[in-house]
Structures are given as structure tokens and as C-alpha cells.
Amino acid sequence: MTSRIGSYTYTTGPGTNVTSTRVWNSIYSNGTVGNSSYSTTTSGIGNYDYTSGRVGSTRINATSQRIGQTTYTSVRPRIRR
């Protein structure tokens, strides 16, 4: 379930508790997903969104492009060895 209060968006569900807020053209999200901590920053430039952050011990980077009503996303997880 997603709810919005002021400038904050709360996403909750089984094993999910994430809070997001928008500052200018960036969205900051923090919380837990499953048993892992979740922290990402998404910045929008034109039709592109760039996301970086961490889910548990895994760093993630993603790029999304909006073309019309469709969004194409490329995700690159970085797995610690």
C-alpha cells in the first residue's frame, strides 16, 4: 500500500516499509525490504532517471528512460566478493 502525507510517500506491505521524499528533481528513499535495509537516490534529467543506492550489502545502479508511456530500465547490481 502506498500513501502520501505532505511531501512524504510511505510504501508498506508484507516485509516492506519504505519512506520517500522529493527534493527538487531528486527522490530519496529509505527503509527496509524483507530483512534488508534499503536506501536509494533517484535524480531525473529530461526523460532519464538515474538511481543509485544500496539494498542490504548490494550496491545498485539503474538508468531509466521514458519514451511515451513506456519506461525502459537497465539495472546493474554490484555484488561484493
Is residue 58 over pLDDT 90?
A: no
What's the domain count of the chain? Answer: 1
Rounded to an integer, the average pLDDT of 52-69 is 91
pLDDT, one tens digit per residue, over 14-28 is: 999 999 999 988 999
Neighbours of 49 (CB within 10 A): 19
The pLDDT of residue 75: 82
Q: Which is it for the CA torsion 47, 78, 39, 11, positive or negative?
A: positive
Letter for the amino acid at 56?
G
The pLDDT of residue 20: 96
Is residue 52 over pLDDT 90?
A: yes
DSSP 32-45: EETTEEEEEEEEEE
The pTM of the whole model exceeds 0.85:
no
Rounded to an integer, the average pLDDT of 36-55 is 93
Domain range holding 19? 2-78
